[in-house]
Amino acid sequence: MATVTFDKATRIYPGSTKPAVDALDIEIADGEFLVLVGPSGCGKSTSLRMLAGLEDVNGGAIRIGDRDVTHLPPKDRDIAMVFQNYALYPHMTVADNMGFALKIAGVNKAEIRQKVEEAAKILDLTEYLDRKPKALSGGQRQRVAMGRAIVREPQVFLMDEPLSNLDAKLRVSTRTQIASLQRRLGITTVYVTHDQVEALTMGDRVAVLKDGLLQQVDTPRNMYDKPANLFVAGFIGSPAMNLIEVPVTDGGVKFGNSVVPVQRDALSATSDKTVTVGVRPEHFDVAGPDSDLGVAVTVNVVEELGSDAFVYGTAQLGGEAKDIVVRVGGRDVPEKGSELHVVPRAGETHVFSTSSGARLSD
């Protein structure tokens, strides 16, 4: 087992002046499950490939444990990678696929068989060991790819969007299996995904990247409760946080017909005349039909989920139409075309600088 350190690691592709990964600084603890997440082109897969030795490092360093592996070839890094497309040999059985790396390393047949059978038992693959990959489902193939990584007993697992090719229901069950398996094995794992729900449900910590720059690295709970800037606020959470530019007023910020109290030092930290307030869909209170508090939201679409529902509506704020998402109880769902009055819950708002995007509230 080992720690992993990105020490201002930078990757600039030939012919480009802008780094794909710009001075990435992350310390990953021994046995930790870290998820790299961000939109397409943010540098998350490049970061993983730098750690694997598949991309050159143009600046800074990468360490596994106390070894500087910045310029080591992949075979000398003691890592195992699980890819999005499984990368199984179609002419080999499941057992041969799982044991292939050990065979190349010259491990004797009896030891290979023992390790393959142990991994197959963990992954519920014992009855499929003599089958070829084409006789397996997508989820089973992904477990074979996991098994191939496990038998190597590496210091670090690297996973590059391993669930992308699975259907929605299978993704949910497989991500639970991967997370519980990693905790059982205790192997340091770096996992790349573009799916922020996957990131929040699997990682011990989550690192959000944008345009090659690290935006925030934190536990899922802290990232949800205290996003560091507007980008993280809008990216983490499903549905996304409502982000609305509102004027600063005495005692807080003006939200429609209500003044939402905000810490004085948050507002004194900016010279902007307006701030951007973030409110999660579940942090709105619905006022009575005759209330003139808050802001009136015209209901456009209702997404019913059984236990609760999401209302997608439009509100007039500052003379502009703004899209707003509100979570309501599943037994109290408004009609499409009706009007709701909503007020942000005190103490549950997030305040950001409109000009810099930085978080202002604690």
CATH number assigned to the domain comprising residue 296: 2.40.50.140
Helices (DSSP H) in the chain: which residue ranges?
44-52, 94-104, 109-122, 138-151, 168-185, 196-202, 220-225, 230-235, 264-268
What is the structure's pLDDT at 196? 87
- Give the number of other Cβ atoms within 10 Å of residue 329's Cβ: 10
Question: Which region, left, alpha or beta, applies to residue 252 given φ > 0 means left and ψ of -120 to 50 means alpha?
Answer: left
Question: Does a structural domain hold residue 70?
Answer: yes
Question: Does a structural domain hold residue 358?
Answer: no
Residues 216 and 255 occupy one common structural domain: no
What is the structure's pLDDT at 167? 83
With a cut of 70, list the residues of the chain below it in pLDDT: 1, 265-266, 269-270, 289-290
Residues 156 and 246 occupy one common structural domain: no
Angle at 241 between CA 238 and CA 242, to 5 degrees: 135
Q: What's the pTM value of the predicted model, to 2 decimals?
A: 0.89
* Partners of 189 in beta bridges: 33, 157
Q: How many CA atoms, within 13 angstroms, populate the side-chain half-sphere of residue 188?
A: 17
What is the structure's pLDDT at 193? 93
Cis omega (within 30 of 0) on the bond before 239?
Answer: yes
Residues 190 and 244 occupy one common structural domain: no
Question: Does a structural domain hold residue 268?
Answer: yes
Instruction: Mark which of 231, 250, 281 sits at the end of a domain.
Output: 231
Q: Look at the chain and report how many structural domains it folds into.
A: 2
Measured CA to CA in angstroms, residue 80 lies from 8, 74, 145, 146, 157 at distances of 23, 9, 10, 9, 5
Residues 47 and 138 occupy one common structural domain: yes
Residue 287 and residue 304: Cα distance in Å, rounded? 20
How is residue 334 annotated by DSSP?
A: P
Instruction: Mark which of 207, 231, 255 sits at the end of a domain.
Output: 231
What is the structure's pLDDT at 28? 96
Write the burial class of residue 214 (CB in 10 Å: 0-12 exposed, 13-18 middle, 19+ buried): buried
* Partners of 196 in beta bridges: none
Residues 294 and 262 occupy one common structural domain: yes
Question: Does a structural domain hold residue 272?
Answer: yes
Residues 149 and 106 occupy one common structural domain: yes
Residues 205 and 245 occupy one common structural domain: no
Q: How many CA atoms, within 13 angstroms, populate the side-chain half-sphere of residue 170?
A: 13
Residue 362 and residue 360: Cα distance in Å, rounded? 7
What is the structure's pLDDT at 289? 67
Question: Does a structural domain hold residue 145?
Answer: yes
Structural domain for 103, as ranges: 4-231
